[in-house]
Structure 1
Amino acid sequence: MKRVQRMTVADMRALRGKRQLAMLRVETLEEAEAAERAGVDMASVPPELISNPAFRDAAPSVFAIPGADFVEIGTTEDFIRWAFAMVKASADAVYCSASLKTVKALSDEGIPVCGHSGLIPSKRTWTGGFRAVGKTLETAQLVYRQIENLEAAGAFAAEIEVVPEPIALEIMERTSLILISMGAGNGGHAQYLFSEDVLGSNRGHIPRHAKTYRNFAAEYARLQEERVAAYAEYVHDVQTGAYPGEGHKLSVDDHVTGTFRQWLSAK
């Protein structure tokens, strides 16, 4: 693993109000390497990716936050064990959408915790599904209380997802947390998008807040057609005898072949 000085929580706090941080969700080593080379500040990563020893070779300076749905991890005690494993694997912080009790327990252990507010996918049933949160006074107050409670529990950051920008801006002025905006406009200290949306490889629903910079879906479709064509040519060559050709075969001395044939005939 390369020894590189990465951004710290203290560094992030010092950058508040000075510049926006760029954050991506990366799923593969290739995406992690691209994020590193592109100068991405922060990355959300699957636990299995950061557990791969090759991750830090690919992205030595990216501030990495592994995360998973809290129901996949379990109780507070399970979360603490999981978080220690993540930090040991080089995580800079952990994402947690579980209870405030769990957030506090992690913080008490000295583990930097990023919470979640607004539209929390794993808890969306409480706010009406996949929809904006904060468009009414009641839900705006809910988002503020979520941030307030996360701060009190010891989190250092919180994702603020699909919240109207004016509401997020008001909250941002009243918290010490690093707010990570996903669909909250400039109401955050960092902007967060998924690689699949940035690259245009998402063939499903594209969120309104997402911005697409490339069309990987079309490229993947083109490559699939090339894959099918190559396979079809191979099948044709096999059926017609064009493959294997002379260049694909091993040679042997004629004497060896002849002697071997005689040996077989004598059996």
Structure 2
Amino acid sequence: MKNIFTYGGQPAQRHLTVECMKNNKAAGKRMTQVTAFDAEEAEAAEAQDIDSLTIGCSNTAEIRAAAPHIFITAAQHMSQYVTEDEALGGAIEAMSHGADAVYSPRGLRTIERLAREGISVQGHTGLFPARATQFGGLRTIGKTAEEALSLMQDFRRLEEAGAYCCEVECVADEALAELKKHSKLVTVTIGAGSSGDIVLSYMADLCGDTENPPRHAKAFGDLLSIRQQLAAERLRALSRYRAAVLDMSFPDDATTVSMPEAELEKLREGLHKTLPVHQ
């Protein structure tokens, strides 16, 4: 456990730091990363010794409270912030709530702006799903030498901009294995084979909670069938409830509180005395 101060100036402890990631990369020690969209997922990941989380910026405080020691990267979406100033403001807010790094899929100027403020920044290369039309659709990048060499340029530019890390998405495994030999960037890979320093999976995919998972995903559980069973049971309960209300079998004696008979008679007498008689 490493003692740190957060970007917001609070003392804290982490199982993993940026320096640890760099050392693990140098030693060839692979690490794990998963998404967490709520406190329950974050708590489960930390309990099972997952190395790091990638989360949305907006719920950083909630996730940090649930998982106080895990390394957290707060991810900014492509369209979340329009200007560099807005991206910087969002990054500082996430860091002040306990994030250890910020992921930005935006341009090099934005990444450089964040890094200049002492924020650990993770960039992106390979396939950008939000820009898939520029790549001819959702496909693997780097299957040709020319395309793989262009990824090397991305690595170099990200390093120059101050990024410590890069998400590599849907890149040919052999290409990444060669490229990473020539880059200091810690690589977070999804759909890019087994050569990454950190392997990222979506929580829903690895838990088997995705109906049509992407090709690079693998299910290690079966939450989907359990959710389907829960949904079916909910429908059965609602149907039986409605039927019971309509046939007057609910509420029944077991779910109803009754007045003592003597008190009921007093109520009737009182109502008869105080209310006008209807003709």
**TM beyond 0.5:** yes
**Which residue does 2:6 correspond to in 1?**
none
**Which residue does 2:264 correspond to in 1?**
257
Matched, 1:92 2:115: no
Match of 1:232 among 236, 239, 243: 239
Matched, 1:175 2:173: no
Q: Secondary structure at the match of 2:167?
A: strand
Q: What does the per-residue CA deviation read over 1:107-135, in whole Å, with 9 as the maximum and x for residues that have no partner?
A: 00000110000001222232222111111
Matched, 1:186 2:194: yes
Shift of the alpha carbon at 1:3?
A: 4.8
Matched, 1:15 2:28: no
Query: Does the 8 Å CA contact 1:43/1:64 hold for their aligned counterparts?
Result: yes
Query: Does the 8 Å CA contact 1:2/1:60 hold for their aligned counterparts?
Result: no
Q: Secondary structure at the match of 1:242?
A: coil
- Structure 1 unaligned segments of length 5 or more: list them: none
Query: Does the 8 Å CA contact 2:60/2:74 hold for their aligned counterparts?
Result: yes
Q: Which amino acid aligns with 2:194?
A: N
Q: Secondary structure at the match of 1:222?
A: helix
Shift of the alpha carbon at 1:184?
A: 1.4
Match of 1:35 among 40, 45, 49: 45
Shift of the alpha carbon at 1:261?
A: 2.0
User: Which of 168-177 and 247-256 deviates more?
Assistant: 247-256
Q: Which amino acid aligns with 1:13?
A: K
Whole-angstrom distance in 2 between the partners of 1:62 and 1:129: 35
Q: What does the per-residue CA deviation read over 1:65-116, in whole Å, with 9 as the maximum and x for residues that have no partner?
A: 1213222221100000000110011111111011100000000000011000
Indicate the percent of aligned positions where both proteins have the same amino acid: 28
Relative to structure 1, the CA distance from residue 2 to residue 246 in structure 2 (aligned partners, 3 Å threshold; closer, same or farther) is: farther
Matched, 1:57 2:65: yes
Correspondence 1:203-218 to 2 at 5 A: 203-204=211-212, 206-218=213-225
Query: Does the 8 Å CA contact 1:76/1:102 hold for their aligned counterparts?
Result: yes
Q: TM-score, normalised by structure 1?
A: 0.93
Query: Does the 8 Å CA contact 2:35/2:203 hold for their aligned counterparts?
Result: yes
**Which residue does 1:135 correspond to in 2?**
143
**Which residue does 1:120 correspond to in 2?**
128
**Which residue does 2:230 correspond to in 1?**
223
Aligned length in residues: 264
Q: Secondary structure at the match of 2:214?
A: coil
Matched, 1:144 2:152: yes
Query: Does the 8 Å CA contact 1:133/1:140 hold for their aligned counterparts?
Result: yes
**Which residue does 2:205 correspond to in 1?**
197
- Structure 2 unaligned segments of length 5 or more: list them: 1-9
Whole-angstrom distance in 2 between the partners of 1:241 and 1:178: 66
Whole-angstrom distance in 2 between the partners of 1:258 and 1:48: 60
Query: Does the 8 Å CA contact 1:134/1:143 hold for their aligned counterparts?
Result: yes
Query: Does the 8 Å CA contact 1:2/1:56 hold for their aligned counterparts?
Result: no
Whole-angstrom distance in 1 between the partners of 2:154 and 2:79: 19
Q: Any runs of at least 4 consecutive aligned residues in structure 1 with deviations exceeding 6 A, and if so which?
A: none
**Which residue does 2:3 correspond to in 1?**
none
Whole-angstrom distance in 1 between the partners of 2:248 and 2:79: 56
Q: Secondary structure at the match of 1:158?
A: strand
Query: Does the 8 Å CA contact 2:108/2:158 hold for their aligned counterparts?
Result: yes
Q: Which is higher, the Rg of structure 1 or of structure 2? A: 2
Query: Does the 8 Å CA contact 2:14/2:71 hold for their aligned counterparts?
Result: no
Q: Secondary structure at the match of 2:187?
A: strand
Q: What does the per-residue CA deviation read over 1:190-228, in whole Å, with 9 as the maximum and x for residues that have no partner?
A: 101111110111113x22221111122211111111111
Q: Which amino acid aligns with 2:226?
A: E
Query: Does the 8 Å CA contact 2:74/2:101 hold for their aligned counterparts?
Result: yes
Q: Secondary structure at the match of 1:116?
A: strand
Match of 1:5 among 5, 9, 14: 14
User: Which of 256-265 and 86-95 deviates more?
Assistant: 256-265
Q: Which amino acid aligns with 2:44?
A: A
